[in-house]
Amino acid sequence: MNRLLTKFVCALALLVSVCAFGQNPPAPEMQKGFTGFEEFQGTLNSDSKIFKLESNAGYDFNQHFGIFVGMPFYFANTQTTTTQVNGTATATTTNVTNNGLGNAYFGFAMRAPNKTLDYGSTVTLSAPTGSTSKGFSSGRANFDWDNRFEHAFDRLTPFVDAGLANAVPDTGLNTKPFTSLGMLSHMEEGGEFELVKHFSVGGSGYEIFPFGNQKVFSKIVGKGQNGSGKGKNSFDLAAVSSGSGLTRENGFNSWVAFDPTPLWRVQFGFTRSVTYNLNSFGFNLRMNLGRAAHQHGS
């Protein structure tokens, strides 16, 4: 196990032990029942427009443990491709769209509410149900062990999120223009501040640290197509790329959020990838199906 992975696991174990040591007694009334969400999000930049519709359903056995399943559906669009005409590179403006299912997933959720530091962890396992030729899957099973630590100080809620995976995960405001295969760790540190009731703003920095060989399947360059020439990143140039450190990345996010009711959340945000030299605008519309089911039942 390399040094980076060892440090990551040791730090994570220490934080988990701190949470466990100071854990509050369970709430008198167990929180259990159906969970889930329906989410539509989009990421727009100079490279492409990528939209994702995701359906998720699960069940919480109590306030600490739950399970979930889900499926994403992608709409990926890029408007310029490069073709070869008699050996000469010629740029042609075309509307290329890749639509299709992503990887179906199943997971476990664990939560440890705490006065000092709230901790939540998920283990997500994905099956290769998406198309590799469209970049929606690597053709291999994926996993992501994600851990989140946060604490609310009145209106401010800072957080740290850290995970270990064999594919770069999407975030709530940024759908990656590729699917990857290769071991990596990912981190995000930031916070959200409630300006007034129902409105909040937030920001974070993020880092992805790959180790070993990485394989990248582009969502914006289809199999048999040439790159658009808009960027110099691996996912801009070829449908499939392989090499060391291809998924290494760092950048920052900022967003505004509106929660008109407990059932709905709307976010608009900006992501700057320093590594890829890419500015992206994103949105996310989420409906909390679990809360809707509980309200209907009551």
Residue 229 DSSP SS3: coil
pLDDT of 12 over the 60 cut: no
Tell me what pLDDT residue 1 has. Answer: 46
Model pLDDT for residues 15-62, shown as the tens digit of each residue = 444 443 333 433 334 468 999 999 999 999 988 899 999 999 999 999
Q: Across the chain, what does the average pLDDT equal?
A: 85
Tell me what pLDDT residue 95 has. Answer: 63
Give the pLDDT mean for 138-154. Answer: 96
CATH number for 198: 2.40.160.40
- CA distance to 86, 228, 239, 240, per residue, from 90 (Å): 10, 10, 18, 21
Structural domain containing residue 258: 3-297
Residue with structure tokens 């992805």? Answer: 208
Share of the chain above pLDDT 90, in %: 68
Q: Which of the four pLDDT bands, split at 50, 70 and 90, describes residue 3?
A: low
Model pLDDT for residues 220-259, shown as the tens digit of each residue = 887 766 665 566 888 988 889 999 999 999 999 999 999 9
Spatial separation of the C-alpha atoms in residues 258 and 290, rounded to whole Å: 19
Whether the pTM exceeds 0.85: the reply is no
Spatial separation of the C-alpha atoms in residues 20 and 64, rounded to whole Å: 12
Model pLDDT for residues 76-89, shown as the tens digit of each residue = 887 555 555 555 65
The number of distinct structural domains making up the chain is 1
If DSSP states are collapsed to H, E and C, what string results for 3-19?
A: HHHHHHHHHHHHHHHHH
One-letter amino acid of 216:
V
Q: What angle do CA 200, 69, 14 make, to 5 degrees?
A: 65
Tell me what pLDDT residue 292 has. Answer: 77
DSSP 25-72: PPPSS---EEEEEEEEEEEE-SS-EEEEEEEEEEEESSSSEEEEEEEE
